[in-house]
Amino acid sequence: MQAHEPTNPIPMFNKPETKEKFKEVETIIGPSIKVKGNFNGQGNIVVEGILEGSLKTNGDVFIGDKAKISANVEAREVHVSGEVNGNIKVKKHLDMISTAKIAGDIECASLAIEQGATFNGKCSMAAEISKESVKEIKAVKN
């Protein structure tokens, strides 16, 4: 008999890069769970169910393909494959998988959108331009 690694019930976790990022999940809101209110945490959070209110963490957030979120989301990194109706504020990277549906404004440092994902709202990238860069840009234009 060969030993094998158990399969993870959350399909997105089967991707190697996602397994690494979400190795230390603090909270899982399962597919049969509905949370109403303000949800605050410090670690990584997985949402597979329904969340209404707000979601804030200093860690990363994974929103599964069956998840339905009606809330503003704030986190270090966010990976969306389900539905989000609300604004998303991300310190680092926002990843939209092909099944993602976002209706709300996005603030992030970097963004990846797979073909098939939908996004309705405004997006602002939090990249600062130094005064020296502005001078260089003006010099090139002249």
End-to-end Cα spacing for the chain: 72
pLDDT at 62: 96
Check residue 47 and give its pLDDT. 95
**Around Cβ 93, how many Cβ atoms within 10 Å?**
16
User: Are the CB atoms for 81 and 63 separated by under 8 Å?
Assistant: yes
Give the strand pairing for 68-75 and 50-57. parallel
pLDDT value, residue 91 = 94
Paired residues of 68 in beta bridges: 50, 83
Give the three-state DSSP class for 50.
strand
Per-residue pLDDT at 22: 56
What is the block-wise mean pLDDT of the chain (142 residues), using blocks of 10 residues?
41 48 79 93 94 95 96 96 97 96 96 96 73 52 54
Model confidence, pTM: 0.74
